[in-house]
Each structure stands twice: as C-alpha cells, then as structure tokens.
Amino acid sequence: MSSSPLSKKRRLSGTETKTGSHCSSSNSVRTDLSHTPANGMAKNGNDAEIDEGLYSRQLYVLGHDAMKRMQNSNVLISGMRGLGVEIAKNVILGGVRSVTVHDQGVAEWRDLSSQFYLREEDLGKNRAEVSQPRLAELNNYVPVTAYTGALNEDYLTKFQVVVLTNSTLDEQQQVGELCHGKGIKLIIADTRGLFGQLFCDFGEEMIVYDTNGEQPLSAMISMITKQGVVTCLDEARHGFESGDYVTFTEIQGMTELNGCQPVEIKVLGKTCLFSSKHQVFVCLGVTLQIYTSCSFFQVHTPSASLHVGFQAIHAFQKKHNNLPAPWSYTPITCLDFSKNVWPTQILLFTCSLLFQACTGKFMPIMQWLYFDALECLAEEEGVTLTKEECAPRNCRYDGQIAVFGTKLQDMLAKQRYFLVGAGAIGCELLKNFAMIGLASGEGEVIVTDMDTIEKSNLNRQFLFRPSDVTKMKSDTAAAAVKQMNPSIRITGHQNRVGPDTERIYDDDFFESLDGVANALDNVDARMYMDRRCVYYRKPLLESGTLGTKGNVQVVIPFLTESYSSSQDPPEKSIPICTLKNFPNAIEHTLQWARDEFEGLFKQPPENRTLKLPGAQPMEVLEAVYKSLITDCPHSWADCVAWARNHWQCQYSNNIRQLLHNFPPDQLTSSGAPFWSGPKRCPHPLEFSTSNELHMDYIMAAANLFAQTYSLPCSTDRAAVVKILQEVKVPVFTPRSGVKIHVSDQELQNSNSSVELKTRLPSSESFQFKLNPIDFEKDDDTNFHMDFIVAASNLRAENYDIPPTDRHKSKLIAGKIIPAIATTTAAVVGLVCLELIKIVQGHKKLESYKNGFMNLALPFFAFSEPIAAPRHKVGTCFCVSPFVLLFGLSAGSFLFCVACRMTEIVTKVSKKKLGKHVKALVFELCCNDLSDEDVEVPYVRYTIR
C-alpha cells in the first residue's frame, strides 16, 4: 500500500492520461532570451548524480533534466507556522540544493494545530530554530539551515526562489520589488481560516520547458500524399490536436522528413495536414509529437472580494498591531475571516509553483489564486458561532477552535476511524489526523498496512527515515504521529484488507467505526472497502494520485453514489500476436520481457506443484517438462549454458523461423507488402561475448535460472566468458510446416491444447528444490531488472526499435505509479475538509465536494458528488420461505419470492434470525408494486 494511483481517471476530463500519451493543447514556439537571468535559473542544473533509488517515483514525474535544474536551486522559506513548515517539508523531499527556513517569531499555542514539528515544550522558542533539525531529517541530500534575522537585499540575493508566508503587506511589497529586480522567483502564500491566498512572480524571462508533463505522442504512418496529408494507421486514434508540432522518423521515400524541424499540424479526423510538398511516400514511418518551450509572463486579475478581504486584514493588522478576534463582527471582518493556520488547502499550489520556478517544468498559475472552503461551516441558516465558543483555551487546538468552536473539537476527539494504507497518502492523513485532534479523546485511529518501508518510499512518505527501512509501515507511522500529538489514540495493524481478514474486521469492528479513509494503491482493494462501507453504512473518504494528477471522492451513506458505482474503462491490452511476433514499440518488447521473466522463473516452479490434468495448454506443459527434464541444471556451468542456448533460441533461431515463414519480400493476398505498417521486418542477432548487452542477458538469465534451482550464483564475467567458450550451440535450420499466427483471431481458432503423453517423474526422484521468483523492480542486486532491460533491448534490436534505458524500462515493466509529495499533500488536505463536514453531520449533497486537479496545467475543479440512486419499492404481505424458516409473522418480515419484492420494512432482531444470519443484501427489482409506493435510497440494509 505504498503508493496511490488515481482512482477515477475518467473524472479528470481533458487532463487525464490517455492511452499512450496525452498531447498538449496549448504549445507555443520558444522565445530566445536576450540574456541569461542573473540567478542562472534558466540554465540546466549541475551534473551531480541523482539518487534514482530515492527519487525514482519523482523522476517519472519531473524527468532528469528538471531534477538537475532543481538541484541548482537555493530556496528561502519565510514563516514557520503550519503553512511554512508544510511547504518546507515538500520542498526538502523534492531535492533542491538547499533550504533556509526563516522566522523571527516564537511558537504559540495556536501554532500547534498545524505546525507538526512544534511540540508543547517548544512554546516560547523560535519557530525556525526548533523546526530546522526536524526538517533536516527528511532528506540527507538537502542541507537545511535556520535564519532569524531581517530579510535585506544582501541576504536575499543568495537564493533563486523566495517563499513568504505569514508576512505583512509591507514586507510582501518590499521583498517583491527586490526579487523582481534581481530575477529571483517569488511566491507569496497565506491562509486565514478557511481562506487561502497565493501569488507568484517568476519574472519576465521565465521559460516553461514542458507545459503539461505528458509524454510526446507517436503514431504509425500508412501514407503521406504530395499535398502533405499524413494518414495514420486505423487501429487506434492518433491523439494529435491542431496546433501540435511534430517531426518524423523512419520515413522511406520522403527521407528529407526524417528528423525535420518541428512542423505545425492541422488535424483532419485521423489525418494530419502540413504545408509542404514532397515525393511519394514509400513505406514505414513514425510521426512524433514534440513540445516547444515558451516564455512566460502573464498577469491575472484575482477574485475581487477575497483580494479586498486579505487587503483589509493587512490594514487592520498594521493599524492595531494585532488580528481581529475570531468571529468578532466588525467592518474589517465582514468576510468572516478568522485566524486559523490550516495549511493543507493552499499548500498544493505553493509547492507546485516552487517546483515550477526551480525547473521550468509545467505551467504556473497566472500570478493570483484564491481558495475558500466555507462549506465546512455549519449548514443550518442562522447558526453562528460566538466569540466565547471560539476564544483561545491555551491548548494545541486553539487555531482550529478559532474557526469551528469547541463543539467540533469534542466531536473530533471521539471519532473512531479506520485508515487503510500507511503509504504516501496514509502518512499525510495521519499527520493531519494528529493535527486536528482526531481520536485524541475517547476515539481511536486504526491503521493497517502489510508493507515494509523501502528506500524509494522516503521521497514522499515523510513519516519514515532511512533508519526505518525494512520496518513495518503502520507501526512506524503510528509512532511518528504520536510524537506530533501525544494525545492521539492510534493502533497499527499489518493486515491486508480482504475476505481473508473478515474474521478480524468483522461486524463488531465495522459497526464501531465512525468512518473509513482509503489510502490504497489498487482499484480492487478500493472496491472491496467500498463494498464493506456500503454494507455497514459507513462514510468513506477516497483519494488517489498519479504524478501531478489527483482526485478526492467522498461517499456518504444514503446521500452519494458509492465508489464502485462508476468504473474506469479497462486498460488497453497489447495483442498477443504483436507481443509474440510483430512488436513495433519499446512497450511491446518490455511487456514481452516481463512475460519471459514470468514464464522462465516463476510459472514453471509454481506449475510443478500443481496436479496436471490430462490436457493442458501446450506452452505450460512444455515449460514444465523442460524445467523438470530437459533443462534441469546441476551446476553453475549448466545455468550459463542454458542462458546461452536460450539467447540463441529467442534472438536468432525464432527470428530466422519467422523470416522463413514470412520472407522480407512477402506479399499479402491483396499484393501489398506483408512487412509494412505496424509489422516491422526483423533480423536475427549474432552472439558475441564482447557485446555488453549480450553479456548482460547471459549474467542475469543464468543467475535467475540458478536461483530457481537453489544453485550457487556468480557475478564473475570473465569466468562466464570462459564457460561460454565451451558451450556447444546446436545448428538451427528453419522448418517447413511451422504455423505462425498473424492475428489473435487465428490464435483463438487454433487448437491450443495438447495431450501430455510423457510420464513425469515422481517428486521423490528429485534432489533439488524449485523456487518461483516473484518480480521485484526496486532491488538493483537481484538481476530482475537486469534481465528485463537486456531481454527487451535485444528484442528491440531484432526489430530495429530504438532501445530504452533502465529508468524508463523500470517505469513501464514495473508498472510504477509516478508520484510527488506535492500532489499527495494537496489531495489529503482536500480529504480532511470533507472529514470535517462528515464529523459535523452535514446532510446536504451540495455541502460535499469531489475534487480533481492536475498541477501541471494547472487545473483545479470541484463538483458535487453524484446523488445515490433512488428506487420505488412497494410492500407485499406474502408469506416468504424466510418467514417460515425463522417462524416470524408475515407482518414483521416482508420478503416475497413470487413478485421478487426485496425490501425489509420492519427491523428484526438478530436473536430471532439466528447468529449465523448477520445481514441480507437485496436487489431492488420488484416490478409488481403495491398501491402504496415509497421512495428509498438504493442501499444495502443490515438487519438489527
């Protein structure tokens, strides 16, 4: 449960990741700079090595170039209250060159409601100095220093980015003018109760290198006319948009197009038009979309009323040297601003902007952004909090009490919540739970996660430290938040949620809960928890991230639809015949390599333990027979010999057989070249011990093969070369009559079973142990990724497909979910706003908000949840078999098989039903309604 995929991609509308890659809708041509900015931010970063083990998930979002630019950035963050420390945390995790935290104030009670690195014993101490050592633990690569002096010109010029929080208007204007004149990027962020403000000034020479963060599109070309009309293959939509810029590769006939300067296109359905005339197109080609850089300087007018409100707060503070008291209705607080530092609403935009300032990656906001969450207040009209209810109590929740009063604080303390997952989202949720005082009284937070901490987790799961690697996530996270708020009552479990643990998470457990929060990394587990919450009528807080994208969904019993009410379309799969014989993209060869890994090192040992029936798919039987009889090794040398022969089979013999069946000049029945369009004509490889890629494959394959048989392994390449010189590789001659399927339909129509006629030896005759190997992508010493990369790139070489590096191979083959701490923190902030509404008992659908974001664009949207479906059902007084079984009267339990009436009208005690009957789940499908129909929500009812 270490990562958090986007759970409802379809709801992101135009910002979602399409099949393949998403294309830009607003690319513009790069503007050359007249000179380099004084702070050097337009240049690439230094050539320092990036720790891919730590930053792997973030690298898949930002890329290496942006990471290097960020590693060149010294950042100043002024103001170490809740908002400032949240920004500092995410920036340090991101991996900038250095961070300086600045504050001239001391810790107060109200700070403890959001500043998670302040403790009660720190009251009266400087906030920056107290926070510095705790922030420094987040990332050993980022030095963190504290500064308590004045922000003068000499000091500010040391930084490339300056962030102001909790600052006065005079300070903002003074620092803003200085930074603008010196080419220093400036971000100003502030929160006032349920309102947030954000401003950025990146100067007039800001360059955006990548407007949306998506991978460029590519498409196979079938024809280009002399008029410049490019026709793509019809097997899938190309995804290009008018205004995109493209270039071409592998064009035959119009060779001058290969590697040409970017050409703007206009889309005509599935074709693109460019204004050039060339000779007739001959055969295969690929069109690639490219992104062009653009200079960025734009001013956006903010929301007028909120802008005036913040200005009024500054004016009042300057005049009275203090803020207005919470809920004191004076002209200056007509917008109901109250002093509460709740960072999780606006921090998302702040940290994202800082990364954009450092890297030139993604589109910044147009200078101003305002945010409010007024729907978190009481729903009832006329209900108003008083100054007395919101007055300070000299407790750690004073900042929150100033907004919501003491009643909500008491309710939060009694909540019993189940958090499923302690990964990136789980860590952020636990931190916020501790800050708001959830389960700080009679309640409890139960967090479960069966995973252990890995190095790659440390970049975004901020509760963990390097010394925690290999420890259980749930226990470590629980201990960490206890340090933040000793009052929180929290229990860590190490269980996977599912049918196997329903004896633990049973009726009594769920009925005792006030709600559930998901922090999961897969849809199946999400849907399971959704079903459990619907079954027990418990609120569910659902969220997910995918790189810069994120979403939040709130599920309220009887009010909103459930998570499972809508589902994403299934992922597009690669045709089997494409994988086996006709790959044309690196994604195909990587999937083929993953299948090779499973088929060689996992499935044969697993299938050996199965009871094989008389008929099995041919490939399964062949693999089992080889693993037990023909390929069974007895030494390390046998493993090397097996790897060499398997290399010969896959990258030479099979390709030669394919070309024997379909020669390079083969024509189809229509007279068109067989090897055209998506079918690349392959060529066999010749093995050489001097070829590094060939040896990479032999070393990885031999070691993995030895591991499956519990034989000794070796990393001595020189010794392996000597063994290879003694290996005899059989001469291969292509055979006639071998059937190779050219489509999945042919494969399905063929006979895919074979009768097992060879008698397998009994297990008693074996003196070795077969060990199935589970693929693990993040261990660089286990040869798993070594095999995948080598196998994939060798097959790519067979088909003249450009190879890819280990980093991208791990992303695709490992199905890694790109992630950054900024998106995670933002999503969790929105989740906690919905939690506040649930605890208050909001009943109106419009009070709740589902949130969707893409920080790269930037795009933020909120919508009302879809209402729960409602169905009309009637009453029926027929005697049911259930009634007869349990001896109940017809009037107390209404269920009719004859008319399929499926509603329980009267509660029935569990004692009468029997202990083995806990609940009945019914489908509302009655067509023969009585004359007294009633409307009820479509839910599952528990019999009490």
Q: In the structure, what pLDDT confidence band is assigned to residue 20 with cuts at 50, 70 and 90? A: very low
Q: What is the pLDDT of residues 79-97, one digit of tens each?
A: 999 999 999 999 999 999 9
For residues 24 and 356, the model is more confident at: 356
Q: Which residues are catalytic?
A: 577
Q: What is the amino acid identity at position 232?
A: C
pLDDT average, residue stretch 576-599: 94
Q: What is the pLDDT of residues 149-184, one digit of tens each?
A: 999 999 999 999 999 998 999 999 999 999 999 999
Q: What is the pLDDT of residues 441-483, one digit of tens each?
A: 999 999 999 999 999 999 999 999 999 999 999 999 999 999 9
Contact yes or no for 460/820 (Cβ under 8 A) = yes
Max distance between CA atoms of the chain, in angstroms, equals 95
Cis peptide before 133 (omega within 30 of 0): no
For residues 39 and 458, the model is more confident at: 458
Residue 886, pLDDT > 90, answer no
- Residue 925 vs residues 81, 871, 919: alpha-carbon distances, Å: 56, 9, 19
Residue 76, pLDDT > 50, answer yes
pLDDT of residue 519: 97
Tokens 């939690």 belong to residue: 835
Cβ neighbors of 585 (< 8 A, separation 6 or more) are 218, 801
pLDDT of residue 921: 34
Tokens 């891919």 belong to residue: 52
pLDDT of residue 492: 97
3-state secondary structure of 436: helix
Contact yes or no for 555/562 (Cβ under 8 A) = yes
pLDDT of residue 621: 62
- pTM of the entire predicted model: 0.80
- Residue 607 vs residues 597, 602, 767: alpha-carbon distances, Å: 15, 9, 18
For residues 208 and 872, the model is more confident at: 208
Cβ neighbors of 181 (< 8 A, separation 6 or more) are none
Q: In the structure, what pLDDT confidence band is assigned to residue 624 with cuts at 50, 70 and 90? A: low
CA 362 to chain centre: 17
- Residue 298 vs residues 164, 292, 364, 367: alpha-carbon distances, Å: 21, 18, 10, 7
Q: What is the amino acid identity at position 527?
A: M
Q: What is the amino acid identity at position 603?
A: Q
Measured distance CA(231)–CA(268) in Å, rounded: 9
Q: What is the pLDDT of residues 423-442, one digit of tens each?
A: 999 999 999 999 999 999 99
Measured distance CA(679)–CA(670) in Å, rounded: 16
What's the token pair of residue 681?
Answer: 């004509």
Q: What is the pLDDT of residues 528-553, one digit of tens each?
A: 999 999 999 999 999 999 999 999 99
Cβ neighbors of 136 (< 8 A, separation 6 or more) are 92, 142, 143, 144
Q: What is the amino acid identity at position 98?
A: S
Comparing 285-289, 561-565, 596-600, the range with the smallest average pLDDT is 285-289
Q: What is the pLDDT of residues 332-354, one digit of tens each?
A: 444 444 433 333 334 445 566 66
pLDDT average, residue stretch 494-498: 96
- Residue 692 vs residues 206, 289, 641, 789: alpha-carbon distances, Å: 43, 32, 18, 12
Which DSSP helix (H) or strand (E) runs through 540? strand 540-546
Q: For the chain, give the percent of residues with pLDDT over 70.
A: 74
Measured distance CA(695)–CA(717) in Å, rounded: 8
pLDDT of residue 46: 43
Q: What is the DSSP letter of 158?
A: T
Q: In the structure, what pLDDT confidence band is assigned to residue 567 with cuts at 50, 70 and 90? A: confident
Residue 7, pLDDT > 50, answer no
DSSP character string of 37-60 = -TT-TTS----PPP-HHHHHHHHH
Contact yes or no for 727/641 (Cβ under 8 A) = yes
Q: What is the amino acid identity at position 72?
A: N
pLDDT of residue 629: 65
3-state secondary structure of 934: strand
Residue 428: CB atoms within 10 A of its CB come to: 29
Report the interhelical angle of 806-813 vs 586-601 (nearest 10°).
Answer: 70
- Long-range contacts (CB closer than 8 Å, 24 or more residues apart) made by 124-131: 127/80, 127/81, 127/103, 128/80, 128/101, 128/102, 128/103, 131/80, 131/85, 131/88, 131/101
For residues 857 and 283, the model is more confident at: 857
pLDDT of residue 511: 96
Q: In the structure, what pLDDT confidence band is assigned to residue 368 with cuts at 50, 70 and 90? A: confident
Comparing 264-273, 368-377, 734-743, 883-892, the range with the smallest average pLDDT is 883-892
pLDDT of residue 254: 75
Q: What is the pLDDT of residues 755-776, one digit of tens each?
A: 444 444 444 444 556 788 999 9
pLDDT of residue 355: 66
pLDDT of residue 366: 80
Q: In the structure, what pLDDT confidence band is assigned to residue 574 with cuts at 50, 70 and 90? A: confident
pLDDT of residue 353: 63
Q: In the structure, what pLDDT confidence band is assigned to residue 101 with cuts at 50, 70 and 90? A: very high
Residue among 821, 819, 823, 827 nearest 849 (CA): 827
Q: What is the pLDDT of residues 691-726, one digit of tens each?
A: 999 999 999 999 999 999 889 999 999 999 999 999
What's the token pair of residue 366?
Answer: 């147009």
Q: In the structure, what pLDDT confidence band is assigned to residue 239 with cuts at 50, 70 and 90? A: confident
pLDDT of residue 740: 84
For residues 311 and 670, the model is more confident at: 670
CA 801 to chain centre: 29
Measured distance CA(914)–CA(911) in Å, rounded: 5
Burial of 366 (0-12, 13-18, 19+ CB in 10 A): middle
Q: What is the amino acid identity at position 594?
A: R
What's the token pair of residue 727?
Answer: 């290996």
> For the chain, percent helix, then strand, then coil, each to nearest 5?
35, 15, 50
Residue 670, pLDDT > 90, answer no
Residue among 614, 616, 590 nearest 603 (CA): 616
